[in-house]
Structure 1
Amino acid sequence: MLVLLGTPGVVARAGVAQAGQPASPDPALNQSIAPDQPVAAGQVELSAGHIDIGPRFDDGQWTLLIHDDSAEPVWRDPDRTVLRVTEAAVQTVPDDPAYEFIGVSAGTPVYVVPQVQQTDVVWVGWNTQDPQVMQTIDRGVTLELAGVAGPGTVTMYLQAGTFSAPQVLWRSAEPPGQPMWVEVNTHTHANWVFTEPGVYLVAVRATADLISGEQVSAVRHLRFAIGDTVTTDTALAAQPPVVEPTSSAATTDDDAGSAGGQSPWLVAGLALTATGLAVALIVVVLRGRSARRRAEQERSTGAAT
């Protein structure tokens, strides 16, 4: 079966990871990140251990990096890092309607990066715990699934216990976007489900408002090698598709509307209103001219008699 055990106390409501919750029973989720942790330069494959994606300022530039805590903690460049999901991660989809969102039939084998750590499977989560990030952002970060290239589909969901309903966060079968609001100083893990072996490039957009009033955003691709037959070189050589620059970013349970600018529906409504006013003005002008012509004709007729 899929690993259904969750991390009670980490998730406050569906799709929203928040800080300030009760301490998790999993001590691996209770962490802090030193401000001087370096960014490793070399290429690497990670097939086990604790991994987080998270925003960071690298040489003063906002970006999204991989925090590798599988050995000595370091940050890594996603373009030079392969996340290997081995055959040890294979599970079968439960015969339960609650898991129809995965998009494949019950009993189908899939690759699962679990929400709860297994020693022989890479453990991928996210955090907003870099010290400079915590000092600089206003409240939190929006993480979006900006696109997926791969042989199958990718689904990410949370489950707070065996008997709780799954809380779907990202599905590659749906249009890009799917914003997820993450409070500052948060560390969370979820279930990732891959339906086919092969190379997946998962584009993640991280957007935040800074306390200075500036908005920052960056898109990076996570490189997953699913299954034992995919080579690391193949995963590193894969070219990611172009990601659309537009973003729904920033629409959260706490913010009604997009932080990226005016809603397209609002713009369309304003345009229609302006058009209507222009037409009305033209009608008024034409009617005024017609009335003046009639008055002039009546005056001419009266003078002639």
Structure 2
Amino acid sequence: MPVLKTLLVSALATTVISTGHVDIGPRFVDDRWTLQVYDDPTWRDADSTVLQVTDDALLTVPDDPAYAFLPAKPGSDVYVIPQTQNPDVVWLGWNTQDPEVMETIDRGVTMTLTGVQGPGELTVYLQSGDFEQPQVLWPKPIWVDVNTHTHANWVFTEPGVYLVQLKLEADLIDGRTVSDTRELRFAVGSGTSPEDARAATWRPVKAAATPARAGTAEESGGVSTGVLIAAGALLLAAASGLVVARGRGAKRRARA
């Protein structure tokens, strides 16, 4: 079990976070709109922050047809950052509560998942209660109102290094439009080196390429790229049960 929430790796100027409350969100740094990581109470640079998802996040895929949508086979394990906090696992969400952001933006922020690089698949979804239908996030951009604080379920199918690229855009009260794109760095699995996650490099997908379908992976420079964005009531109910029924779930509004 992790003893410290945050570990500073001085040689790489890297912050490794394995437990506790963490948000991503926009800020103005030197008057520039920037996506940062809020390691309560400190905002950190996304490029030098690694989110470590240890083996305490492991859950088993049930031998149930309801979970057939998962690329992982029944009886295999997946890594889950849950919507409801598990004290042994990093608790990842997002917020639009920075004071300068709240005073400057017009209504809210658009958040877009623009890509994932890693050895397995990723799905992210929200659920307001045990019996409510979950909302699978992305590939469509999602709308986040100003002064919002939300946590979600993040499910990784394999251990390894993942880079999750997110874009935050907003219209400002003064008429300007601002945008920033950053990669979140994940070291999934206790055996995955946070230093490797810090050193990983984003490999842009060629313009002609199409997104990977659910349950497939694209290869780019030797790094598997996987994004599982699924839909349908069966899928959603199953994804909900995977996390919530094991006891380890903030409702947000999606904009088409």
TM range (shorter): 0.7 to 0.9
CA distance in 2, matches of 1:137, 1:244: 32
| 2:91 is equivalent to residue 123 of structure 1 | yes
The Cα of 1:107 is off from its aligned counterpart by 3.1
The Cα of 1:244 is off from its aligned counterpart by 8.0
Match of 1:135, SS state, is helix
CA distance in 1, matches of 2:151, 2:15: 22
Cα contact 2:24–2:35 (8 A) shared by 1: yes
Partner in structure 2 of residue 179 of structure 1: 141
Gaps of 5+ in 1: 1-40, 171-176, 246-251, 257-305
CA distance in 2, matches of 1:196, 1:54: 26
Partner in structure 2 of residue 85 of structure 1: 53
> Which of 35, 55, 59 pairs up with 1:64?
35
Greater Rg by CA: 1
Map 1:11-160; keep pairs closer than 5 Å. 42-69=13-40, 73-95=41-63, 99-160=67-128
CA-to-aligned-CA distance 1:90-141 (integer Å, 9 cap, x gap):
0022455555554333333100000001111000000000011111111000
Higher RCO (CA-CA < 8 Å; seq separation 6+) = 2
Runs of 4+ residues over 6 Å off in structure 1: none
Match of 1:155, SS state, is strand
TM-score between the two structures when normalised by the length of structure 2: 0.73
Provide closer, same or farther for how the CA distance between residues 97 and 156 of structure 1 changes in structure 2, counting only shifts above 3 A: farther
Q: Percent identity?
A: 60
Map 1:120-269; keep pairs closer than 5 Å. 120-170=88-138, 177-242=139-204
- Greater helix percent: which structure? 1
Gaps of 5+ in 2: 1-11, 208-252
Match of 2:141, SS state, is strand
Equivalent position amino acid for 2:96 in 1: T
Cα contact 2:120–2:158 (8 A) shared by 1: yes
- Greater strand percent: which structure? 2
CA distance in 1, matches of 2:130, 2:108: 29
Provide closer, same or farther for how the CA distance between residues 66 and 240 of structure 1 changes in structure 2, counting only shifts above 3 A: same
Cα contact 1:98–1:165 (8 A) shared by 2: no
The Cα of 1:88 is off from its aligned counterpart by 0.4
Q: CA RMSD in A?
A: 2.1
Equivalent position amino acid for 2:45 in 1: D
CA distance in 1, matches of 2:162, 2:113: 13
Aligned pairs, how many?
200
Equivalent position amino acid for 2:92 in 1: V
